[in-house]
Structure 1
Amino acid sequence: MDQLRQSLLDAPIIEKGDYEYFVHPISDGVPMLEPGLLREIVIKIIRKANLENVDKIVTPAAMGIHISTAVSLMTDIPLVVIRKREYGLDGEVSLHQQTGYSEGDMFINDVNEGDRVLVLDDVLSTGGTMKAVLDALDHIGADVVDTVAIIKKAGPNELDDSDHHVKTLINVTVEDGEVVIVDEHGDD
């Protein structure tokens, strides 16, 4: 995880209200995402995630899309994107997510009762988006085989007191305007 680690250490920090936010190619699309960094992350996800009998990869828009697309291409597992726009399709399920800096509704299509899914996202910070997604998948009756976030911002989050477990590739915190690596191997 040398490229991921170094790219996080080099990430600029901005303030969004009281929230210290690192700007990173995986979570924000800027600075430019180098193919080697994406490749390193995808290989690590494939090694860490339980992919046995997974029917679908599920990811929230927008910054999970590029990661999940690459994993889908490498594993031949179809991809479902949880959208921020309602389409009104049969079976569409809405959820409300709230993060440290935003909130809104999202919509799941093409996930059905009994589907075995891998949930992927870019960052686990407050846990607001991930908890809303996992709760909605539970409501649908999908079997969440595994859940992986690339980067975990250490500290309490909404999943701490839940039955949901999220694997991560690297855990960080932001101290005095800089990213600090807490665990370079993440959570299993």
Structure 2
Amino acid sequence: MDRLRQSLLDAPIIEKGEYQYFVHPISDGVPMLEPELLREIVIRIIRKAQIEDVDKIVTPAAMGIHISTALSLMTDIPLVVIRKREYGLDGEVSLSQQTGYSESEMYINDVYEGDKVLVLDDVLSTGGTMKGILDALTHIGADVIDVVAVIKKAGPNKLDDTDYSVKTLINVTVEDGEVVVVDEHGDE
């Protein structure tokens, strides 16, 4: 059974102004995240992502943390969380300093030149956060082995005109108050 697909089809829809969006345990932390769904997602990531040579899983706070933690536990690959707080540690890199991306300040610690990383996030929507992260990792000199977002919201995003490629598990849109699956198996 495809729990991810079914959970998205069952997701409540809320309206913010004219914009409708789904509320989902992977992207929002509510409703409650069932272990079976998280396990299914991590197994699908392991099957889809190129992880053999990865030194570190890199994820932005906050909604990538649960997925990345589960993946780290199943693969023994260490986890780096990109935070919205500056710690001032040696080697800390600010995304906006490196990329001009300033929607919200984010800071990368413990990623260095030559590190082989898997970038993992919950949702690819506008692509702004992901582009900022990938630009910063490239600037650091990390080798981005693969990039995965669990859910992609269909439509144009800021990665479309770049060389960055993001694998997704499922692609969806919201139409007339319902989640519609656009691509059952996501992007390769």
Task: Give the TM-score of the pair, scaled to structure 2.
Answer: 0.95
Give the root-mean-square deviation of aligned CA atoms.
Answer: 1.2
Partner of 2:133 in structure 1? 133
CA distance in 1, matches of 2:38, 2:24: 12
Structure 2 counterpart of 1:41, one-letter code: I
Tell me the SS of whatever aligns to 1:104: coil
Matched residue, 1:26: 26
Aligned residue identity for 1:45: I
State the partner residue of 2:53: 53
Q: Deviations over 1:115-169 (max 9, x none)?
A: 0000000000100110010011011000000000000000000000001000000
Residue matched to 2:187: 187
Alignment TM-score, normalising by the size of structure 1: 0.95
| Aligned ranges 1:62-101 → 2 under 5 Å | 62-96=62-96, 97=101
Give the secondary-structure state (helix, strand or coil) at the position aligned to 2:187.
Answer: coil
What amino acid is the match of 2:92? E
- Could you tell me which residue of structure 2 aligns to residue 121 of structure 1? 121
Name the SS for the 1:164 alignment partner: coil
Q: Summarize deviations over 1:80-137 as a string: whole Å, max 9, x none.
A: 0000101011111111457xxxx31110000000000000000001001100100110
Structure 2 Cα separation of the partners of residues 107 and 176 of structure 1:
38
Shift of 1:53: 1.1
Look up the match of 2:35.
Answer: 35
- Between the aligned residues of both structures, percent identity stands at 84
1:2 aligns with 2:9: no
Distance 1:62 1:172 in 2: 21
Partner of 1:11: 11
| Aligned residue in 1 for 2:166 | 166
Give me the whole-angstrom Cα distance separating, in 2, the residues matched to 1:18 and 1:145: 38
Q: 1:22, CA displacement in angstroms?
A: 1.2
Q: Given the superposition, is the C-alpha separation of residues 160 and 35 from structure 1 closer, same or farther in structure 2, using an over 3 Å criterion?
A: same
Per-residue deviation, residues 47-95 of structure 1 (Å, max 9, x unmatched) = 0000121000000000000000000000000000000101011111111
CA distance in 2, matches of 1:176, 1:34: 27
Distance 1:160 1:19 in 2: 22
Q: Which has the higher strand share?
A: 1
What is the Cα deviation at residue 35 of structure 1? 0.4
CA shift, 1:171, in A, is 0.4
Show structure 1 runs of 5+ residues with no match. Answer: none
